[in-house]
Amino acid sequence: MTGKNTALAMALLLAVAGAGLAQLRPAFGAVADEQGSQMPMNMPGTADLGIPSYHAYALKPPFTATIDPKKFPDALTQNVYALAAKIRPVLYQQPCYCYCDRHEGHKSLLDCFVGTHGSECDVCQKEAVLSYQLTQKGKTPAQIRAAIIRGDWRSVNLNPYMAAASFR
């Protein structure tokens, strides 16, 4: 009889847990419109996916090398990779809001420029340019990280970096 009682208790527990999870399901992967009805979220930018991976501590030498800017055909990529090479310890401490930590396995914004990902992603490029600009203004990596988390990278204009490679 104890076997039947245990099985019944387990079935009841699973049913209650399932019902509880079913109540939570609309909160995952959907948002409410003005009328309160659920809509699926299609863009990762609309969801709060949390802060992507970054290192909260300074990178100690030797610094990981970024790809040589001359390996890329376009001026924008050359310029951004040149900037990234100058601030590798800063990029090491920054998150990347394209969430490449989840689909590329990156641990920080620096990883985007150690490989070719930074050449294909405007989010990475904007964050790197913002990091460089703020570094030039004397901001610390923690202050730059706060600006990236705040979303300041969204307003970065990449047009000035599309001119012939200057390797700033």
pLDDT tens for residues 10-31? 555 555 444 443 443 333 333 3
* Per-residue pLDDT tens over the stretch 75-119: 999 999 999 999 999 999 988 887 776 777 778 888 889 999 989
Task: Please state, in angstroms and as integers, the Cα–Cα distance from residue 23 to each residue in 19, 136, 156, 158, following that order.
Answer: 6, 50, 41, 45
* Per-residue pLDDT tens over the stretch 110-159: 888 999 998 999 999 999 999 999 999 999 999 999 999 999 999 999 99
pLDDT of residue 70: 95
Residue 165 binned pLDDT confidence (cut-offs 50, 70, 90): low
* Per-residue pLDDT tens over the stretch 42-67: 334 445 678 888 888 887 888 899 99
pLDDT of residue 9: 57
pLDDT of residue 28: 34
SS3 annotation, the chain: CHHHHHHHHHHHHHHHHHHHHHHHHHHCCEEECCCCCEEECCCHHHCCCCCCCCCCCCCCCCCCCCCCHHHCCCHHHHHHHHHHHHCHHHHCCCCCCCCHHHHCCCCCCHHHHHCCHHHHCHHHHHHHHHHHHHHHCCCCHHHHHHHHHHCHHHHCCCHHHHCCCCCC
Is the pLDDT at 5 greater than 90? The verdict is no
